[in-house]
A and B are shown apart, each in its own frame.
Chain A
Amino acid sequence: RKEVEQDPGPFNVPEGATVAFNCTYSNSASQSFFWYRQDCRKEPKLLMSVYSSGNEDGRFTAQLNRASQYISLLIRDSKLSDSATYLCVVNWGNQGGKLIFGQGTELSVKP
């Protein structure tokens, strides 16, 4: 089992659509969870942290289920500018901040 596993992509959706990304992780000792966004040939940028209570930032909603070791990201009312690769990232337990990245899910929002 991969350490952090994401939905395979790409996701091709029309503008205005709602899209959901799923992610599972294998290390039950993980404490911190994130979604990063990476544009083509650029560095990853933090989109949002993920908390057990769930959190929302505008059109983006992240959920965490520790029992199932599952993380999700929901994007509502997709914009063309949302086209990017979305990376599920997990802090790997007590290893001094080590982050493990999922393979990423590519999103393409079309007009």
Chain B
Amino acid sequence: GAVVSQHPSRVICKSGTSVKIECRSLDFQATTMFWYRQFPKQSLMLMATSNEGSKATYEQGVEKDKFLINHASLTLSTLTVTSAHPEDSSFYICSANGGTGDGAGGPDTQYFGPGTRLTVL
């Protein structure tokens, strides 16, 4: 089945530093990747849609200058949280659209990475 990895799995950093999170599709090519954020006891909220070779589409209320997304290849998207602050502490999860014919749930199925838990002190 389709596998998505994320790195790192956990980050603890000081306020003001930037944190880069990588999302990779390991055995398929993902033209579209998605970045979500989940606060405790809440559901996943889509932050942005990342398309290979083009600018990401950000959801309303998400600062594109703070959350930099790069999707330079069909297997890698990165999210950089710039000048992180304690309120940015959250569980960040990426997903990748598996494309057509994967059989695991239909062409709209998204495969999720294991998530990155960010704690900003």
Q: Which residues of A contact B (CB under 8 A)?
A: 31-32, 34, 41-46, 48-49, 87, 91, 96-104
Report, as a range, how many residues of chain B touch the other chain.
Answer: 20 to 34
Q: In the complex the two chains form, is B46's CB within 8 Å of A99's CB?
A: yes
- Residue in B43, B97, B114 with the greatest tally of chain A CB atoms within 10 Å: B43
Known contacts A42-B115, A43-B113, A44-B44; is-contact A97 B108 (Cβ 8 Å)? yes
Q: In the complex the two chains form, is A45's CB within 8 Å of B43's CB?
A: no
Known contacts A41-B117, A97-B97; is-contact A46 B43 (Cβ 8 Å)? no
Q: In the complex the two chains form, is A43's CB within 8 Å of B115's CB?
A: yes
Inter-chain CA distance A97–B45, complex, in Å, is 14
A-B contact pairs, 11 of them (CB 8 A): A31-B108, A42-B114, A48-B105, A49-B109, A87-B43, A87-B44, A96-B51, A97-B49, A97-B108, A98-B34, A104-B43
Which B residues are in CB contact (< 8 Å) with A32? 106, 108
Interface string of B85-121 (1 = CB under 8 A from A): 0000001010101000000111011111111010000
Q: In the complex the two chains form, is B91's CB within 8 Å of A49's CB?
A: no
- Residue in A42, A43, A98 with the greatest tally of chain B CB atoms within 10 Å: A43
B60 within 8 A of A: no
Known contacts A41-B117, A42-B115, A46-B109; is-contact A98 B44 (Cβ 8 Å)? no
Known contacts A41-B117, A42-B115; is-contact A99 B110 (Cβ 8 Å)? yes
In the complex, residue of chain B having the shortest beta-carbon distance to the beta carbon of A91 = B108
Inter-chain CA distance A11–B6, complex, in Å, is 31
Known contacts A41-B91, A42-B115, A97-B32; is-contact A102 B106 (Cβ 8 Å)? no
Q: In the complex the two chains form, is A103's CB within 8 Å of B42's CB?
A: yes
Known contacts A46-B104, A46-B109; is-contact A100 B115 (Cβ 8 Å)? no
